[in-house]
């Protein structure tokens, strides 16, 4: 029975880990927009810099999600080869 509880805890740890991925891209977009908005106000460029920085934040968030998933896939394939 103890093995089953450890496996169940591992599943919940994975759920928590992967549910956090849904926040990375929106956080990058909001952070990029805010930074762009501040820079737009400072440089008097209008809203264009805010939009560009928001898109850069989305791209950065997408790259980070892909890096995390690639790392998780490598880790999972390493566990499967050990069995």
Percent helix, strand and coil across the chain, each rounded to 5?
95, 0, 5
| 27-64 pLDDT, tens digit each | 999 999 999 999 999 999 989 999 999 999 999 999 99
- Taking the C-alpha atoms of residue 67 and residue 73, their distance in angstroms, rounded to an integer, is 10
- Kindly tell me if the per-residue pLDDT of 26 is higher than 80: yes
Structure tokens at 31: 């952070």
% pLDDT > 90, the chain: 57
Domain count along the chain: 1
Q: Write down the mean pLDDT value for the chain.
A: 87
Whether residue 51 is contained in a domain is answered as: yes
Q: How many C-beta atoms lie closer than 10 Å to residue 40's C-beta?
A: 19
Helix 48-82 vs helix 24-43: angle between axes, to the nearest 10 degrees?
150
Whether residue 48 is contained in a domain is answered as: yes
Whether residue 73 is contained in a domain is answered as: no
Task: Give the largest CA-CA distance in the chain.
Answer: 65
Predicted model pTM: 0.76
Domain limits for position 50: 26-67
């Amino acid at each position: 029975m103890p093995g089953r509880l450890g496996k169940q805890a591992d599943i919940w740890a994975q759920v928590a880990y992967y549910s956090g991925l849904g926040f990375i891209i929106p956080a990058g977009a909001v952070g990029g927009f805010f930074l762009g908005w501040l820079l737009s106000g400072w440089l008097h460029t209008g809203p264009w810099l805010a939009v560009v920085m928001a898109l850069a934040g989305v791209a950065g968030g997408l790259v980070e999600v892909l890096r995390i998933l690639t790392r998780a896939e490598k880790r999972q394939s390493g566990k499967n080869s050990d069995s």
